[in-house]
């Protein structure tokens, strides 16, 4: 399987709501980053479903190289 597409080389800062379910794009093809729009169909990638632990701003990965998805871990700095 090929590497995911780099949607952008910086994370997106976004307010998430405690307990709410989100679907993070893993393939990089989604047109509504950082979330899934089902563009992964046929790519071999599947999105990551997660819930925010608290209501606050999060930094979600858009380069798709993070080792701690869906959160930015700074891996984009090596691109
Ligand atoms: S945007 Fe992917 S690790 Fe920061």
For the Cβ of 16 lying below 6 angstroms from any atom of ligand 1, the answer is no
10-residue averages of pLDDT along the chain (79 residues): 92 98 98 97 96 97 98 97
Q: Do residues 64 and 26 touch, judged by C-beta distance below 8 A?
A: yes
Q: Residue 26: CB within 6 Å of ligand 1? A: no
pLDDT confidence of residue 2? 84
Nearest to 4 by CA among 52, 21, 16, 36: 36
Q: What pLDDT shows up at residue 74? A: 98
- Enumerate the domain spans of the chain: 1-79
- For residue 11, which atom of ligand 1 is closest to its CA? 1
pLDDT at 32 (0 to 100): 97
Closest CA to 5 of 31, 22, 21, 14: 31
pTM above 0.85, yes or no: yes
């Amino acid at each position: 399987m090929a590497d995911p597409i780099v949607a952008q080389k910086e994370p997106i800062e976004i307010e998430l709501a405690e307990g709410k379910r989100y679907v993070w794009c893993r393939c990089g093809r989604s047109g509504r980053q950082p979330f899934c729009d089902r563009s992964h169909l046929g790519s071999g990638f599947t999105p990551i479903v997660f819930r925010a632990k608290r209501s606050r701003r999060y930094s979600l990965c858009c380069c798709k190289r993070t080792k701690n998805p869906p959160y930015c871990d700074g891996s984009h700095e090596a691109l």
